[in-house]
Structure 1
Amino acid sequence: MTELVATTTGLYPLPDWAKDDLSDLKGHQKHDLISGDESPEIVDAYDRARSEVISLQQDAGLDRVVEGQLRWDDMLAHPLTVHENVETGGIVRYYNNNNFYRDPTVVGELTPSGDVASELDAAAEQTDDLQAVLPGPYSLFDLSNDDYYGDDADFLSALADFLAGEVAEFPSHETLFLLEPSLVVNPPASDDLHARASEAIDRVADATDAEVVVHTYWGALSEKTYAHLMDADVAGFGFDFVAGDREQTLYNLDEYGAKDAAAFGLVDGQNTLVEDASTIRERVDWVQDQLAVAEFDTVFVTPNTETFYLPTNKFEAKLAALADAVAPTEVEA
């Protein structure tokens, strides 16, 4: 029996009212704010928005509930851009999308900040099915610059320690999704860096007792990257079956094996077309039917990417379809 778990990759769009309120409160200068500098009015707006997206997930019937990452103006780079020892440069493109973030440069020691933990503490008061979301250490390495550690190996190691320190402060959570699109978009250039990326992921995963899923997207992992990633001691990996090369992903799974869990990115996190529940379920079944060897105890059914690209009404509809697609949660493997 394979357990199907409906969840998401986090990084939600702000509710429409919050976009307007926060734009006014921030004076249209949201990228100049850092953690701890928000006014009480801004903190209150984010608190209300967080409660709203948590209620949306619960009402839809998702099995795991994320905090929403509504404060993450810099998307995956957020844990660095709010750190006191990081300087933010100009606005740069976020991978190949029409979204942007401030270019972070680390200029001092990366000590845990507790920023993400404080968001999760607030979320934990509203759900017992909490799923934490963080950028993976390799993607954070790819999206940032180092002006302190002086060596790629030391910098990646420091990022892993930093993220592990953040995770150690998290409240109790069922699952941790580490978002690692850079493993697809800009994979390690050498075997040594491949090995170090897997070791860095291990270090972050060791900081929690929760199931850790390393979710990759915006394409398929190369054969070499996947083979190295299998060395990481995590519950499972996530795969983009919307934008990815499906045949490459299926080959990797059957050729190099799989963990006990996997995340299937089957709902388009960027397209406003809303998939119905039956379509999503058909996609789950199709993936499992194509696998000659790999089997999973647990499959997390998710959007392929973050969903901050979507209009809020389409986002809400996709949440409902996801939940409907996996009920009941147990099917024949």
Structure 2
Amino acid sequence: MTEYVSTAAGLFALPDWAKDDLSDLKGHQKHDLIDGDEGGEIASTYERAREEVVSVQREAGLDRIGDGQLRWDDMLAHPLAVHDAVETRGIVRYYDNNNFYREPVVSGELDFSGDVASELEATAELADGEDLQAVLPGPYSLAELATDEHYGDDADFLAAIADFLAGEVEAFPEVETLYLLEPSLVEDAPEDGLDERASQAIDTVAAATDADVVAHPYWGALEEKTYAHLLDADIDAVGFDFVSEQEDNLYNIQEYGATDDISLALADGQNTLVEDPEAVRDRTDWVFDQIPVTDFETVYLSTNTGTFHLPYNKHEAKLEILAEAADLAEVTAA
């Protein structure tokens, strides 16, 4: 029988009190950024915020518990922005034009960092046996967001990013699921040849863990060749952003099939309108009515993007409706 799993795409909204405290402690505005080695009161604030977001996920009944990536001021660029071999330069707009990050310029060898693993270790202690979910930028998106001043070749740089992320994953505590966020596969679609290398890079990261790996593009649908190559990677599920695009995502599944598991992004991570659990369940049924393959082993119900733009109470509500929708889907399936 199909298992329905409620989760979210990471990059959570900060609790209101934490936003206020961190703004005062850092002494800068919302989009001013830090270098990742904060200590003292700032570190203590993040620890308390992590405790709260883990508690909120458990109370909501979410099936996967994540750390929320609360320290990721540079958003998807964070794993590079805090690396010793990377220089952060000017402020750059993300694809959604509503958030910013410091441009990470790779000037040396991308050896092991351990930054993300340390956050997950702390989260694992708080999760107290609950299934843990890790979130990372996918290798293609991270390479597209960065500037290479060391490797000298696009293919070598993408491979180096993939090897770096794989090394980080190997240091993770036991996690049940790993979401690789790959919006660049949609927003900056790879050209011929690069689409195959992007799939190989994702495969490199996926091979570094025993966790179930979800490659999650968003803000649209993948081009056909990109999707076909992605299916060649050793991943467990592809994420489909049905909030942003329905027809093209359905076409890809209808034309090329899907992995044994599937991730359906049916809750809007950037809209304050809170969906109804029954509506999310009905949208799940609607997707399955449109595609030839419905005997998935696991169906993940998630937000399409991170919820970092949302007011914190709306973020909490989104988690609750996903948990309720997954429960409803389980009952319907039974």
Shared fold (TM-score greater than 0.5)? yes
- Would the aligned equivalents of 2:88 and 2:105 in 1 still touch at CA under 8 Å? yes
TM-superposed deviation, 1:66: 0.8
Cα shift readout 1:228-285 (whole Å, capped 9, x = no counterpart): 11110110100100012x1111111121111111110000011100001111111111
> Structure 1 counterpart of 2:186, which letter?
V
The question of 1:179 aligning with 2:186 is answered no
Cα shift readout 1:191-242 (whole Å, capped 9, x = no counterpart): x211111111011001100000001100011111111111101101001000
**Whole-Å separation in 2 of the counterparts to 1:265 and 1:24:** 35
Aligned position for 1:281? 281
Aligned position for 1:139? 141
TM-superposed deviation, 1:329: 5.9
Report how many residues are paired.
330
**Whole-Å separation in 1 of the counterparts to 2:260 and 2:32:** 40
Aligned position for 1:157? 159
- Would the aligned equivalents of 1:184 and 1:218 in 2 still touch at CA under 8 Å? yes
- Would the aligned equivalents of 1:131 and 1:174 in 2 still touch at CA under 8 Å? yes
Aligned ranges for residues 154-233 of structure 1 at < 5 Å? 154-190=156-192, 192-233=193-234
**Whole-Å separation in 2 of the counterparts to 1:32 and 1:317:** 28
For structure 2, list consecutive stretches of 5 or more residues without a partner in the other structure.
none
Aligned position for 1:117? 117
**Whole-Å separation in 2 of the counterparts to 1:31 and 1:138:** 25
TM-score normalised to structure 2 length = 0.96
TM-superposed deviation, 1:328: 5.1
Aligned position for 2:244? 243
Q: Percent identity?
A: 64
- Would the aligned equivalents of 1:258 and 1:295 in 2 still touch at CA under 8 Å? no
What secondary structure does 2:178 align onto?
A: strand
Aligned ranges for residues 35-74 of structure 1 at < 5 Å? 35-36=36-37, 38-74=38-74
**Whole-Å separation in 2 of the counterparts to 1:283 and 1:329:** 10
For structure 1, list consecutive stretches of 5 or more residues without a partner in the other structure.
none
**Whole-Å separation in 2 of the counterparts to 1:76 and 1:187:** 17
What secondary structure does 2:232 align onto?
A: coil
- Would the aligned equivalents of 1:168 and 1:207 in 2 still touch at CA under 8 Å? yes
Aligned position for 1:252? 252
Judge which range, 135-144 or 292-301, deviates more: 292-301
**Whole-Å separation in 2 of the counterparts to 1:260 and 1:134:** 22
**Whole-Å separation in 2 of the counterparts to 1:279 and 1:286:** 10
**Whole-Å separation in 1 of the counterparts to 2:79 and 2:211:** 20
**Whole-Å separation in 2 of the counterparts to 1:31 and 1:137:** 25
**Whole-Å separation in 2 of the counterparts to 1:32 and 1:276:** 36
**Whole-Å separation in 2 of the counterparts to 1:112 and 1:39:** 21
**Whole-Å separation in 1 of the counterparts to 2:183 and 2:56:** 26
Shift of the 282–328 alpha-carbon distance from structure 1 to 2, 3 Å rule, reads: closer
The question of 1:299 aligning with 2:296 is answered no
**Whole-Å separation in 1 of the counterparts to 2:205 and 2:312:** 32
What secondary structure does 1:125 align onto?
A: helix
TM-superposed deviation, 1:25: 0.8
